Amino acid sequence: MTEGDEAESEQNIQIDTIAEMVCRSKKLVVFTGAGISTESGIPDFRSPGGVWTKYDPEEFTYQRYIASTESRRKHWLMLRHGNLHRSVAPNAAHYAIAELDRIGKLDCVITQNVDNLHQKAGVPAGKVFELHGNMQRVKCLGCGRYYPFAEIDARVDDGEPDPACIHCAGILKPDAVFFGEALPAEVLEEASRRSSECDLFIVIGSSLVVYPAAYMPVYADKAGAELVIINFSETPLDHRAKVVLHASAGATMKEVVARLMKKKI
């Protein structure tokens, strides 16, 4: 058997193990990071060639956004380059997670992503806890109204570098968490509770270095849940996981669900 054959055999064993764990689970939480959405063409901000190699993240804080028209103009330009608001399709991993919900195995998704792809794939919005917000929406910080991002993006295209609310002239901000801004308290509290109460926690596409989001698998592990990590790079929690798989999120999750279905769950 060649080295490649051995690696493939080991991966098959790991996928079988994950499928068995999902089969046994009564309360599965899936936690996703940027690595699941790069397979849909959304760039990872922190990777080589990502947005933060072109812009200084220290310039893009919530405090600067609120204080300066010039800062808001820079934010809108940077966000448009990130393509997080564009029409992007879910990939095989998103659809596999939605299938886990359809067959009754998913308690919820906790995500660091702001791309709305879990909902597009079919996971009910009430089961998706967006720790860092959602780039499909823009919120007025004055009156609280929401706008579709595409509507505000069109205004920027038409020459408004710092568009304001048409109802109260308040500052418009994408409904995603900026540097220096607190995570949404209710979402964080519920995500923490569900992490602490699950029996299986699967991390997909996260390096687990951004806090407080990265506390979620810690809560699950401390509560006795089994931990699976599917990510191309190592994470600080690899030593705590029952399965660590350095492989494609889409191909892996599609195969996990296929093997799960063979068990007639």
Q: State pLDDT tens for residues 40-72.
A: 888 766 555 555 556 666 777 999 999 999 999
Dihedral sign, Cα of residue 221, residue 257, residue 244, residue 35: negative
CATH number for region 45-82+134-176? 3.30.1600.10
> 1-42+89-132+182-265 has which fold?
Rossmann fold (3.40.50)
Residue 77's pLDDT is 83
Q: Crossing angle of helices 3-24/249-262, nearest 10°? A: 60
**Average pLDDT of the chain to the nearest whole number:** 90
Which pLDDT score, from 0 to 100, does residue 52 have?
Answer: 57
Residue 158 makes CB contacts below 8 A (sequence gap 6+) with: none
The pLDDT score that the predictor gives to residue 9 is 80
Average pLDDT over residues 94-107: 97
Mean pLDDT value across residues 186-203? 98
pLDDT at 85 over 70: no
- Of the candidates 75, 85, 94, 132, the residue annotated as catalytic is 132
Question: Which value, to the nearest 10 degrees, does the dihedral of the CA atoms of residues 33, 35, 41, 47 take?
Answer: 100
- For residue 155, pLDDT over 60 is answered with yes
- Using CA atoms, how far apart are residues 161 and 157, in angstroms rounded to an integer? 8
- pLDDT number for residue 54: 60
| Model pTM above 0.85 | yes
Could you say which DSSP state residue 236 is in? T
Q: pLDDT (tens digit, 9 = 90+) per residue, 5-26?
A: 566 788 899 999 999 999 999 9
Q: Distance (Å, rounded) from C-alpha 218 to C-alpha 235?
A: 12
> What residues does each domain of the chain span?
1-42+89-132+182-265, 45-82+134-176
Active site residue 132: yes
First to last CA, the chain: 34
Cα–Cα distance list, 200 to 41, 87, 100, 195, 196 (Å): 28, 32, 13, 9, 10
